[in-house]
Structure 1
Amino acid sequence: MSIPIFFAAALCEIAGCFTFWAWLRLEKSALWLIPGIGLLILFGWLLTFAESSDAGRAYAAYGGIYIGASLAWLWLVEGVRPDRWDVVGATICVIGASIILFGPRTA
């Protein structure tokens, strides 16, 4: 169940942060910040549903998903195709996140 939560959280975090980018770097209206703040609150709330007893472990596993989702955003929203180094780096991060998330745990 954590994987869909991580993807939803990533979308909220990236979109929420992008509203600040749009306001400061793309000179969009400050009104862009209203949905951005809501999305960032939703992001934090969603991560509480990750299947982990430890917040730090959930955040670490989420990090790999976030990196991959950020590159998807780069391509789909910003129109910039990730290069091979982006893909290699994201793949390494997703593998690391998978190890953190699915590795056997002892009590």
Structure 2
Amino acid sequence: MTIVRSVVLFVLAAIAEIGGAWLIWQGWREHRGLWWIAAGVLALGAYGFVTTFQPDPNFGRILAAYGGVFVAGSLIWAVLLDGFRPDRWDLLGAACCLLGVAVIMYAPRGA
């Protein structure tokens, strides 16, 4: 159950961080206004809190592993919201990153 909780928290963190950055991008680069930017700032703040609920106590490990989730999540976000079509190298890179997440976070460790 701990792994499921951790994965759910990574997904929520990715939605908050990527969504927050996307909202700021939309507000500034696409001229949608300050409300979009403000919503993005709030979402980025939520990302910071969601990350603290990870069961592993090591900040560095969690942030390092989350980097892989961020890479894969960014490609998924781009496909769903921006019409981006990743090529095989994008997909291979994301798969490598997710393998890194699994090794960093869920590999058995000695006591």
TM-score by length of 1: 0.94
Q: Residue 77 of structure 2: which of 73, 78, 93 is its match?
A: 73
Q: Residue type of the partner of 2:85? A: R
Contact 1:9–1:47 (CA<8 Å) still a contact in 2? yes
CA-based RMSD of the aligned residues comes to 1.1
How far residue 105 of structure 1 moved from its aligned partner, in angstroms, is 2.1
**Quick check: 1:26 aligned with 2:30?**
yes
Gaps of 5+ in 1: none
How far residue 2 of structure 1 moved from its aligned partner, in angstroms, is 0.6
Q: Residue type of the partner of 2:49? A: W
TM-score by length of 2: 0.90
Contact 1:51–1:58 (CA<8 Å) still a contact in 2? no
How far residue 23 of structure 1 moved from its aligned partner, in angstroms, is 2.3
- State the Cα deviation string for residues 58-100 of structure 1 (Å, max 9, x = none): 1111111111111000100001111111100000000011100
Alpha-carbon distance in structure 2 between the residues aligned to 1:85 and 1:24: 30
Instruction: Give percent identity, aligned residues only.
Output: 38
Cross-structure match for 1:82: 86
Alpha-carbon distance in structure 1 between the residues aligned to 2:61 and 2:17: 18
Give 4+ residue runs of structure 1 displaced > 4 Å after superposition.
none
Contact 2:28–2:37 (CA<8 Å) still a contact in 1? no
